[in-house]
């Protein structure tokens, strides 16, 4: 079974589930255009993003939870997620009113593929 949590992190609150790569799921559906993809997996977002072959998928907009980046998995941070998404061809936009009271940082970031930004004239609202 696939997974990102280390064996030593398992507890009575851990549920083992079978995992499939995002790309495999999209392929099984005929690789459709995904208008909005929401990724919120409690701190492992960067690992999932790194598995996606961006040149083979059509994902226009992503909302990615970044508040737990670096808190659960030390090899991640909100800045690393933003840089990675910019490197694969997306522009970061801020959600409105997204400060997490629990973590004291932005909860989620919005990423729009660069060609969609240009085609739709997407701008950051104040």
pTM: 0.82
Residue 48 CB partners (closer than 8 Å, separation 6+): 4, 22, 39, 41
**Sequence spans of domains, the chain:** 7-120
- Both tokens of residue 47? 């690992």
From first to last of its 126 residues, the chain has per-residue pLDDT tens of: 455 555 555 566 677 778 889 999 999 999 999 999 999 988 789 999 999 999 999 999 999 988 878 777 878 999 999 999 999 999 999 876 666 666 666 779 999 999 999 999 998 887
8 A C-beta contact, residue 89 and residue 53: no
Any bridge partners for residue 24, and if so which?
none
């Amino acid at each position: 079974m696939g997974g990102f949590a280390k064996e030593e992190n398992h507890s009575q609150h851990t549920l083992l589930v079978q995992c499939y790569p995002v790309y495999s799921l999209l392929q099984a559906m005929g690789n459709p255009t995904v208008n909005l993809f929401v990724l919120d997996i409690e701190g492992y977002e960067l690992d999932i993003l790194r598995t996606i072959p961006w040149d083979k998928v059509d994902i226009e907009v992503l909302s990615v939870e970044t508040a737990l980046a670096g808190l659960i998995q030390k090899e991640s941070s909100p800045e690393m997620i933003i840089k990675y998404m910019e490197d694969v061809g997306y522009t970061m936009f801020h959600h409105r009113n997204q400060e997490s009271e629990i973590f004291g940082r932005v909860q989620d970031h919005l990423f729009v593929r660069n060609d969609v930004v240009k085609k739709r004239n997407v701008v950051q609202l104040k």
